[in-house]
Chains A and B, each alone.
Chain A
Amino acid sequence: MNALITLLPIPAAIFLAALLLRDARALTRLAAALMAVQVLIAIGVLGRYASRGDVIVAWGFRIDAVSAFFLILTSLVVAASLLHAVFFFEAEARGPHPPSAFVVRAVYAFLMLFTLSMYGVVASDNLGFLWICMEASTLLSAPLVYYHRSPRALEATWKYLIICSVGIAFAFFGTAILYGVSQRVPGLGDGTLSLAALGAHAASLTGPLVRLAFVFLLVGYGTKAGLFPLHSWLPDAHSEAPAPVSAILSGALLNCSLVALWRLTTLMARAGQGAFVQATLLPMAVATVLAASLFLLKQRDLKRFWAYSSMDNVGLMAVAIALGSGTAFGLQALNHSVVKVALFLLAGNLLQESGTLRIARVRGLLTSYPAFAVLLALGTLAVAGTPPFGSFVAEWGILQLAVAGHHFVCVAQLLLGLAVAFVALSMHASSMLLGTVRSGAPTERFNRRLAVPGLLVTFVLALGFITPPAWLRVRGQGTVVHMRQPLPRDAQSCAPEGPLRRLDGLHVNLPQGAPTRP
């Protein structure tokens, strides 16, 4: 549990610095440096948990493979965004609406509390704490969406606050129902909200109320994840926030809601409700992919475009969750987070350089701004899931999983969605990259603001080469993210039942003879 505490000082220090430091420039640099250290700390302290099967539960929080992996990923996303934010705020200060030092300090103060709330979501073992942190993440990020103070930003903030709050209220109803059910389970005393304890007595979690609870929880956390048809806030909030915040909303916050869904899905699977979970979550996830890809076609604003692409990826991750594969979920989350942070940061650069995000107004980037154009092209290819990027491996894995589970209709729908998304992505990207340069287009050759997106795109490219052998070798031992969440010691007798368990062994891209987890 000390591992979790070691993650607290740096966000707290940046928060204090935001309150005390009057110099916004110094603050952005200090925060970037400290957050980079935070990533190293997270990897150093939690890396070993990500590759082991232990579960440590104390004070309502837990460290296991899932929480360790997503704590590291969240830290990485925040660090990359803050590193870029140094250049972002420098450019803002030169722009038409320079933010005051107070605004920058407020952004950093809220960002740090927001980061801590995301840590809380990922590391919660108590469903009550999970809910509190999730709602706190909405409340703390809403002011960040309102950064530009425009009528559009205000509208986006309002929608974000009200839709997510109502959605999450349903999740609390589900939590309360589950708590009520647990009070009637012998062995749980006065009832519990602890995932570990509920998991240990999962066999007793039966009846229609458990299913009702899951439906409410799915609606609640599904809203926050942007699952169709509860997604309407997502493109607004992600497009109106400043670029580094959009990157964090898309690269880290969406993962957090999906982690909540993963925890509940595994709990339900253990309670013998695997078939029900799959029957509710899988259609929703596939519909999300299809809807997002159709929305992608008609987008005219680059940031809204990336927001719908995030929704597309959320759908894929939800498919992985519904099929019970944590590995596929983790891999897809990693690839999507890294590349989407890069793309949102690039969109921020474009807005600052050319003053517009309208796709139709940007032409000929390849001739006017080649370094930027190359990164944009690579990022678009990566997010579309083309080989040799890591996202291809992840999406291929998800499709294989669906085939292995005999969800052929789903596979067909997913392929259709992915194909439409690919067409939309390549159509819009090529219209920006090619063509003749218009006046007012950015003409810089290279600047520092391409450093972070460049590193991230390289990372996704590298993942495409690193992942397959490494993944196939270690997945059998359950490294990185487990397909099956390890049970607490006293719960070993309650193995998961139903389709999710059946699917655990169905990673068909495992090589023959690979060691399987006992």
Chain B
Amino acid sequence: MVALFSVEPLSLMAIIVGLCTLGLTSLRNCMAAYGVQTVALGLLAIELGVQHGEPVALWVGCVVLLLKGVGIPVYLGVVARRIGCRRDEGLLIAPPLLMFATLAAIALLVLTPGMAAVVPLHVWPSLLLVTIGMIFMMTRRMALTQIIGFLMLENGIFLYGISQPHSMPFIVELGVLVDVLAGTMLGGLLAFRLSDTFDHIDTTVLRELHG
């Protein structure tokens, strides 16, 4: 139950920002929140890199901060503006309600005795971020918000990587970063095509193929 209290302030901030994002409906705010979360994680990587004298973590932190923390929100913001998509009211459940429900569920999980034995303490922050990203993806309609959910999920994995005693090899981190950036670019382009073809980017209406 001490899980959350032993967390770095920056990763705690990332989790709180992630939770808040669950309650947002404006696409612009969602992107800004993603940016803040990613910048926090980039700063954490830089901090840990300086602390442990690991230049790899330092460089990765800088690149992530610039490309993912600033570049991706700007790119997705441009795509959203061109498409003319402003809000995502969520699927099945109103976003603010979802946010509080998730908060309650997390509190319940953390306070459950014996949870620390099932999942080791150091996995908690990243697992929470991954779960939040997953919940975000599953409860949103728009193609762009789903991309943001995927990126938040990926942030959780990045947090796990940097919170280990040694960071991943630079080439692996770089390859992952290139894949994530390319995937986001491709997702944005497909969102354009979706809005051209269907006049909307509501993925829940894509029901042509089934069975």
Binding site for B on A (CB under 8 A): 126, 128-129, 131-132, 135-136, 138-139, 142-143, 146, 151-152, 154-159, 161-162, 165-166, 169, 172-173, 176-177, 179-180, 183, 190-191, 193, 208-209, 212, 235-236, 239-240, 295, 298-299
Q: Cβ of B171: which chain A residues have Cβ within 8 Å of it?
A: 128
Residues on the A chain within 8 Å of B5, using CB: none
Interfacial chain A residues near B169, Cβ < 8 Å: 128, 193
New contact pairs (9) apart from A142-B190, A158-B190, CB-CB < 8 Å: A128-B172, A135-B183, A154-B193, A161-B190, A172-B154, A173-B126, A183-B164, A191-B165, A209-B123
Min Cβ gap B61→A in Å is: 16
B59-80 vs A, CB cutoff 8 Å, 1 = contact: the mask equals: 0000000000000000000000
- Of the candidate stretches B9-17, B32-40, B202-210, the one touching chain A is B202-210
The answer to the question of B186 belonging to the interface, with a C-beta cut-off of 8 Å to chain A, is yes
Q: A176-B168, A193-B169 are in contact. Are A136 and B203 (CB under 8 A)?
A: no
- Evaluate contact between A166 and B183: CB separation under 8 angstroms: no
Alpha-carbon distance A165/B119, docked complex (angstroms): 25
Q: Check if A157 sits within 8 Å of B154, measured CB to CB.
A: no
Given contacts A128-B172, A131-B176, A152-B208, A191 and B186 within 8 Å (CB-CB) = no
Query: What 7 A-B pairs have minimum CB-CB distances, sorted nearest first?
Result: A128-B172, A132-B175, A190-B166, A135-B179, A180-B164, A155-B206, A236-B209
Q: Are B164 and A128 in contact (CB under 8 A)?
A: no
Chain B residues 181 to 210 lying within 8 A of chain A, measured CB to CB, are 182-183, 186-187, 190, 193-194, 197-198, 203, 206, 208-209
A151 touches B198 (CB 8 A): yes
CB neighbours (8 Å) of A190 from chain B are: 165-166
Known: A166-B153, A172-B157, A295-B211. A161 touches B186 (CB 8 A): yes
Please report whether the interface of chain B is mostly helix, strand, loop or mixed according to DSSP: helix
Which residues of chain B from 97 to 129 have a CB within 8 Å of any chain A CB? 118-120, 122-123, 126
Interface pairs (15), CB distance under 8 Å:
A128-B175, A151-B197, A154-B197, A155-B206, A158-B143, A158-B206, A161-B186, A161-B190, A165-B183, A172-B157, A191-B166, A193-B168, A208-B119, A212-B119, A212-B123
Instruction: Tally B residues with Cβ within 8 Å of A.
Output: 44
Q: Are A128 and B194 closer than 8 Å at their CB atoms?
A: no
Please report the C-alpha to C-alpha distance between residue A136 and residue B120 in the assembled complex, in whole angstroms: 31
A479 → B minimal CB distance (Å): 34
B139 interface hit (Cβ, 8 Å): no
Residue of A nearest to B143 (CB): A158
A193 and B172 within 8 A (CB): yes
Task: Please indicate the chain B residues that have their CB under 8 angstroms from the CB of A132 in the complex.
Answer: 172, 175-176, 178-179
Asked whether A166 lies within 8 Å of B150 as measured between CB atoms, the reply is yes
Interchain CB contact (< 8 A) of B208 among A138, A151, A235: A151
A155 and B164: CB pair below 8 A? no
Residues of B within 8 A of A162 (CB): 146-147, 150, 187, 203
Q: Assess the B208–A155 pair: CB atoms within 8 A.
A: yes
**CB distance B160 to A139 under 8 Å?**
no
Once bound together, how far apart are the Cα atoms of A177 and B120, in whole Å?
Answer: 11
The residue that A169 contacts in the complex, of B150, B164, B182, B197, with Cβ under 8 A, is B150
Q: Which residue of B lies closest to A135 (CB)?
A: B179
Measured between alpha carbons, how far is A169 from B120 in the docked complex, in Å? 21
Closest A residue to B182 using CB positions: A139
